[in-house]
Chain A
Amino acid sequence: MSLVFTPDITGFPLVHLLDTGYAVHLWPITRSQFKMAWPQHPAQQAPDEAAPAANPEALLMTGIVPADITAFAAWMNSIKNAAPGTRFQAPSVEQWRHIHDYLQFERLEKHLDVIKQTCTSPAAQQLLQSVLQERAVHTLLELSLMREGIIEWVWHEDHWTGLGQPSWDFYPNTFEPMNETIEPIETTRPQQIFGLRLIRVRC
């Protein structure tokens, strides 16, 4: 298995999983990324007070609904100079779990230097710093916040659902994302614990 890192147009790292043909954002979409696309989004005005400011999850965009994902992905896809022949979208449950499996065996020290180089925006550098300071990180999985992060919207067969394991300080839970999905009560009402991570696939 081999990994390549490149910055996306917002200055955040994308991890290319070469044998799958897609790339994934190393972290869920942050508030600063979302703000570029949608400065007036209501969730921007009401950051989650449950997340202590020092914690990495405070920097992540939460409180969004699936319609926001579609809109944000469309914005990412609309920007000029984005990789031609590719598009951003939310991962499926299978893709999310595959990425999880992939990253858990990748040691951080092997990739840290190149990750630092691909954090080209100040916001990305801030998030990297925050994760390294606040979490015990040994693998790319731990760095990715797929665990000890938030709940991420994913697509499952014909509906939206959630995957992830929020940090226990942020949101006490017993979720095991590799065994079960997290079903929202409603998909149209913003939930403070739900955010998104995008993958880039070939069209």
Chain B
Amino acid sequence: MICPFCLEDVRFKKEQQLNGALEYVCPSASCRQIIPRLYAEEYHRYPPVVMSIIGHRAHGKTVALSTLYYALSRLNIESYWPDFYLFPINEASIEVVFEKARALEAGQLPPPNPKIFPEPTLLQVSNLPLTKKGKATLLFYDTAGEAFLRTQDIGRYAGFVRRARTALFLVSLPQLRQQTSKAHPSGELQRLLYTYIQGMADMGVDTRDQHLIIVYTCADAMLTTLSDWPDVQQYILHDDWKALQDAESYVARMHNISSQLKTFTQDGLNAQQFLSLASDRFASVRFSIISALGAAPNAAGSLAVKIKPRRILDPLLWTLERALPARKQRRIQQRADQLRQDPNSKNRSNWLSLFR
């Protein structure tokens, strides 16, 4: 069992606390955290999925996560995924989900995180596509971007990354251009990846066992940059939530957008070395693009209009898709190939067929 606090593979022990309550506790001497009862008791019904989010400071990690919580809890996802529901399984997680949603609705962006090993947000999800029997516990960790600047800090402040089968590498190109004053900031992309790969190696983890999803954030500020990739532009501008009803086809389309974003990375950003490094050092590399807010916040970091997240579920769906058995992944890839050849083809299967 993965302890959500120290990420060690342990067997939780039941121990009497000072107040007399019997609680599950992580037996690891350096952890000893009380484990949420539902996490421990429903561990096998709701297997954990570590959502590993990496990226520099100010590249949108916290905003993307907050919007994902908002989308899962407030945007009627259940009308696309029948009987879907979200259940934060400890008090801290309830607080996070409600507070982030409330702040976003009030037009406030979440503040940046301190450089500490973060408390996880634990969300049980039911009737979620691309999961075994539709159930999972999503473990979200949101740490400061500074944790990814030095190899030793990754182990200290972002140790959760070693337990993830998929790493979501969030990159804001507008931010990177601003930080580096370069139109093609591929060197900075490489630098983060170098640090990450080294940090993982220091923890004894080979990134070749991990999938990498490069998530371009702040898509609203990238639209002019994407003028040579009109399909990607349209993908962002016309977020088709109803298409989520058929998650398999939706993910197949994500594959095709990923291919185009790969070309964009290669030709539009001149980041061939970055691509070669990523392809060689990870089990697979895919690309995604999101706009957490739908529009730019003002200079003071608040919003003038209510948020309109675009493609905000894609990183989650990539994480789930990469965890599917190979034969199911192949089926989605075949669907993607069909869609590429005939974009208008009607797809009659639905996500449940994946598990028939």
Contact = CB atoms under 8 A, between A and B. Distances in A.
Interchain residue pairs A-B with the least CB separation, the first 6: A185-B107, A172-B221, A173-B295, A183-B306, A172-B296, A172-B220
B262 to A, nearest CB: 22
B220 A185 contact: no
The range of chain B's interface size is 20 to 34
6 contacts: A172-B223, A173-B295, A174-B236, A185-B304, A185-B305, A191-B305
Given A171-B295, A172-B296, A175-B294, A151 B305 contact: yes
Contacts of B236: 174
B224 A174 contact: no
Interface in A33-90: none
Given A172-B296, A174-B237, A185 B219 contact: no
Interface string B303-333: 1111010100000000000000000000000
A179 B310 CA distance: 14
A184 B304 contact: yes
A176 interface: yes
B304 A174 contact: no
A28 B240 CA distance: 30
A185 B105 CA distance: 8
A77 to B, nearest CB: 29
A164 B303 CA distance: 17
Contacts of B224: 168-169
B220 to A, nearest CB: 4
Contact of B303 (A172, A175, A179, A185): A185
Interface string B152-184: 000000000000000000000010000000000
A182 interface: yes
Contacts of B304: 184-185, 191-194
Given A182-B305, A185-B306, A192-B304, A171 B106 contact: no
Contacts of A173: 220, 294-296
Nearest to A194: B304
Contacts of A162: 305
A180 B308 contact: yes
The main secondary structure of chain B at its interface with chain A is: loop
A109 B346 CA distance: 40
A180 B294 CA distance: 12
Nearest to A151: B305
B238 interface: yes
Contact of A185 (B106, B221, B294, B296): B106
Contacts of B174: 172
B291 interface: yes
Nearest to A190: B304
A174 B305 contact: no
A191 B218 CA distance: 21
Nearest to A182: B305
A191 B107 CA distance: 12
A184 B305 contact: yes
A174 B223 contact: yes
B319 to A, nearest CB: 23
Nearest to A183: B306
Interface in B177-236: 218-221, 223-224, 236
B295 A175 contact: yes
Nearest to B291: A174
Given A171-B296, A175-B295, 11 more contacts: A151-B305, A168-B223, A169-B224, A172-B218, A174-B236, A174-B294, A175-B294, A175-B308, A185-B106, A185-B304, A191-B304
Nearest to B311: A174
B220 A174 contact: yes
B305 A183 contact: yes
A176 B308 CA distance: 11
Contacts of B294: 173-175
Contacts of B302: 185
B49 to A, nearest CB: 28
